[in-house]
Amino acid sequence: MLHQALFFLIAAMCVAGAINLLLQRHPIHSALSLIVVMGSLALLYLLLGAEFVAMIQLIVYAGAIMVLFVFVIMLLNAGEEEHTRGSRMALWFGAPAVAAIVGMVVYVLTSNSTTLREVHLGAWASTTHDVAMPLFREYLLPFEVTSILILIAILGAVVLARREH
């Protein structure tokens, strides 16, 4: 009961943040709403018992990535956005398609709810220790290879954002 109440509370916070993000006209306000979304997502992960993921969500997304967002907004000196009438394509094809996909996901997940396991409130599905052991053993190679991914991102950032003299 408590679990459901908490879930709906946090989920409502998340959705409200997302809607506010879209409605705000100033990019900084949108960015601040995004922090609400990220933070409530972290709480949802915590509710699911994924402690480590919740922490990463806070440190990387609500922390580092939001800093980047705000910097880029200030870099572009983006003012209030101009409203266009919106694309007709998006209205006639995009919206029904999104509705169909969301409907399908909801249907599939609810119809499979008996076979899927439930998480009980406060039962850790995975502690940091549980995450760490496979990460440094079974998933050793994927872990090591992410370092190459980081190198690519460094190269990309330097190439695209910096002029050679």
* Interacting residues with another protein (CB under 8 A): 46, 49, 52, 55-56, 59-60, 63-65, 67-68, 71-72, 74-77, 79, 104-105, 107-109, 111-112, 115-116, 121-124, 128-129, 131-133, 135-165
Return the H-helix or E-strand segment holding 85. Answer: none
Our CB check for another protein shows the closer of 91 and 140 to be: 140
CB of 103 to another protein, least distance (A): 12
CB of 19 to another protein, least distance (A): 20
Instruction: Return the number of other C-beta atoms located less than 10 Å from residue 149's C-beta.
Output: 9
CA atoms of 109 and 103, how far apart (whole Å)? 10
CB of 83 to another protein, least distance (A): 20
CB of 121 to another protein, least distance (A): 7
Three-class SS state of 126: strand
CA atoms of 43 and 58, how far apart (whole Å)? 9
Residues 81 and 22: beta-carbon distance below 8 Å: no
Our CB check for another protein shows the closer of 79 and 96 to be: 79
CA atoms of 54 and 49, how far apart (whole Å)? 9
Residues 20 and 33: beta-carbon distance below 8 Å: yes
